[in-house]
Amino acid sequence: MLATPGPTLAFVVAMLTATVIGCSPKAGSSVTDNSLPPLTEDKPVLVLDANRTLPDGCRKIGNLTADAGGAECHYSTVIANAQTQARKMGGNILKITRYWEPAMGNPCYKIRADVLFSADADQLAAADQARKDSLHRAKFGDHPNYAILYAYRPSGVGPLIGYNLHLGDSVICRMKNNSKYEIRLYKEGPTTLWASKESKSSIPLTVKFGEEYYLKCVLLMGAFVGEPRLGLIAKGPGETTYESIK
């Protein structure tokens, strides 16, 4: 396993809690162009992450905010809810403009996105998939023999306190305030990511070659030196936050 430290930038501390707390589903929208009819449920809606450049020739319809709600606050559910709302507005492209990661007291993801329409949406979707395939080959080749873990710790509680991040029985890096690491994992199968100070925080992980995982690490207030908290973050918001750490 190779760990390479990267540069840093402060951002808001947010972490998954061990206990899932239900939240009400929400979807709000603002329509600035209501001249397009709603799309049927079978029409695809292209999703562009926050770090993607918007293609030329797109017609903006409005914007929306969406989360998952209920007991299953998965990022995929947020995206599905946003795509449904976009179809109702007549849009076939979602350009995410902001993410909210799971936080203490609210385990749901939330996004804000612009809703757009393009007559070339099918071609844009094909080009976006080709871009993703090209990036994947550049990282892993045609026959992946490792996975990549992106571990990051934003600015927050205990700026002078670091802690070791373990994968199974091995220490793979030290999580300092404002730090990030790219770590290659050369063994497939179930394992555990964990860290310990006053208490222990652990996350199960099933490693599959060719996959990318984003791990957010923070330090919460403790009686003496604080308590580590780890959370796996979906690729969209995870990648955007990781890349923002300079």
Given CA atoms 40, 63, 28, 235 in this order, what sign does their dihedral have? positive
**So what's the pLDDT on residue 76?**
93
**So what's the pLDDT on residue 61?**
95
**So what's the pLDDT on residue 5?**
44
**So what's the pLDDT on residue 225?**
66
**Of 23-37, 96-110, 120-134, 211-225, minimum mean pLDDT range:** 23-37
- Topology of the domain covering 27-138: Translation Initiation Factor IF3 (3.30.110)
Mean pLDDT along residues 11-35: 52
**Of 19-28, 127-136, 185-194, minimum mean pLDDT range:** 19-28
- The per-residue b/e assignment along 155-172, b for 16 or more CB within 10 angstroms, e otherwise, is bbebeeebbebbbeeeeb
For the cut 90, the answer to whether the pLDDT of residue 120 exceeds it is yes
**So what's the pLDDT on residue 221?**
74
**So what's the pLDDT on residue 232?**
95
For the cut 60, the answer to whether the pLDDT of residue 165 exceeds it is yes
How far apart CA 108 and CA 98 sit, in angstroms, is 14
Task: Supply the DSSP symbol for 103.
Answer: B
Give the model's confidence band at 222: pLDDT under 50 very low, under 70 low, under 90 confident, else very high: low
Q: Is the pTM of this model over 0.85?
A: no
**So what's the pLDDT on residue 7?**
40
Both tokens assigned to 194: 């964990």
How far apart CA 230 and CA 219 sit, in angstroms, is 9
For the cut 70, the answer to whether the pLDDT of residue 150 exceeds it is yes
Percentage of the residues of the chain whose pLDDT score is greater than 70:
85
By the 8 A CB rule, do 77 and 68 touch? yes
**So what's the pLDDT on residue 108?**
84
Spatial CB neighbours of 56, under 8 Å, sequence gap ≥ 6: none
For the cut 80, the answer to whether the pLDDT of residue 177 exceeds it is yes
Percentage of the residues of the chain whose pLDDT score is greater than 90:
63
Q: Which residue has the higher pLDDT, 127 or 34?
A: 127
Write down the H helix ranges in the chain.
75-89, 121-140, 235-244
- For 64-83, the pLDDT digits (tens) are 999 886 656 789 999 999 99
Long-range contact pairs involving 231-238 (C-beta distance under 8 Å, separation at least 24)? 231/15, 231/16, 231/102, 231/203, 232/16, 232/203, 232/205, 233/101, 233/102, 234/74, 234/75, 234/76, 234/109, 236/49, 236/50, 236/75, 236/96, 236/99, 237/75, 237/99, 237/101, 237/109, 238/150, 238/214
* Structural domain spans, the chain: 3-16+143-244, 27-138
Strand partners, 213: 149
Both tokens assigned to 147: 């996975």
Determine the 3-state secondary structure of 2 from DSSP: coil
Give the model's confidence band at 183: pLDDT under 50 very low, under 70 low, under 90 confident, else very high: very high
**Of 31-35, 223-227, 242-246, minimum mean pLDDT range:** 223-227
Domain 3-16+143-244, architecture per CATH: Sandwich (2.60)
Strand partners, 95: 48, 114
